[in-house]
Amino acid sequence: MSLSHHQELHVIQRSGWLRAAVLGANDGIISVTSLIMGMAASGASSQTLLVTCIAGLISGATSMAAGEYISVKSQEDIEKSDLRFEATELEKNPHAELKELTEIYISRGLKPELAHEVATQLTEHDALGAHARDEIGIHENTAANPIQAALSSAASFSCGAVLPMLAILLSPSSWVARSVLITGIVSLALLGALSSYFARTSMLKGSLRITLWGILAMAFSSWVGSLFHVTAI
């Protein structure tokens, strides 16, 4: 049997975009729903709530994209500068670097002679690659693409933020606050379960965790909003 039949897809390989997408949708639901709850508690009209929702969606999606881009880029910069430093070290002290790599393999359980042999062969094959993986811990497949991460965050934030907007548009004005709240809680519970399903962890735990934090945020902004309550004339 050929080895290529045994290439299972590991969860970690899709964790970059999955993490960004779930965080984005999560933020979209929590922040926009909380915003609406705060405004509703202050006595704002349905129309004001809708405008608030649109503004929240746009500002949130933009800031998520910028934040995600910057975070991935700065991680990339750190890795690049580490690799540059390692490349210089390899050039200046090849013997010390070979010894360093050998010791890493010994500490991982290889016998000294075998560790030396492995380190020598890997150094001949791709010295920087071996040091990047085994010494620094930089792997090709865990690096996220900054543009892809930014777009995915913005798109998923918008998907999350559209839910409270639909709740405002589709419910009668006396029910707006309640239907936004219920939509928020139900969609957070579903999102938590979905992300745990993809990550192959407990769906109940993931769902409860995300929902509890969401309810806390909504309750807090609702309370703050009620402090500013203005009775409509």
Choosing from 28, 33, 41, 97, the residue that interacts with Zn ion (CB under 5 A) is: 97
8 A C-beta contact, residue 20 and residue 153: yes
Tell me how far apart the alpha carbons of residues 192 and 26 are, in angstroms, rounded to a whole number. Answer: 8
Shortest CB 94 distance to Zn ion, Å: 10
Should residue 116 be labelled a site residue for Zn ion when binding is judged by CB under 5 A? no
What tokens appear for 47 in the block?
Answer: 């129309």
Shortest CB 120 distance to Zn ion, Å: 14
Shortest CB 12 distance to Zn ion, Å: 24
- Contacts with Zn ion by CB under 5 A: the residue count is 4
Query: What percent of the chain is helix, strand and coil (3-state, nearest 5)?
Result: 85, 0, 15
Should residue 130 be labelled a site residue for Zn ion when binding is judged by CB under 5 A? no
Which one of 8-16, 93-101, 158-166, 203-211 is the stretch in contact with Zn ion (CB under 5 A)? 93-101
Residues 133-172 that bind Zn ion (CB under 5 A): 135
Shortest CB 86 distance to Zn ion, Å: 5
Integer angstrom CA distances of residue 167 from 93, 177, 187: 64, 9, 11
Which one of 62-70, 127-135, 169-177, 201-209 is the stretch in contact with Zn ion (CB under 5 A)? 127-135
- Return the ∠ at Cα 13 (arms to 161 and 133), rounded to 5°: 130
Tell me how far apart the alpha carbons of residues 46 and 170 are, in angstroms, rounded to a whole number. Answer: 11
User: Of the two residues 6 and 92, which places its CB atom closer to Zn ion in the complex?
Assistant: 92
> Which residue, judged by CB position, is nearest to Zn ion in the bound state?
131
* Positive or negative torsion for Cα 36, 41, 46, 49: negative
Shortest CB 91 distance to Zn ion, Å: 11
Shortest CB 77 distance to Zn ion, Å: 20
What 8-state DSSP symbol labels residue 133? I
Tell me how far apart the alpha carbons of residues 86 and 215 are, in angstroms, rounded to a whole number. Answer: 47
User: Of the two residues 76 and 134, which places its CB atom closer to Zn ion in the complex?
Assistant: 134
List contacts with Zn ion (CB under 5 A): 97, 100, 131, 135
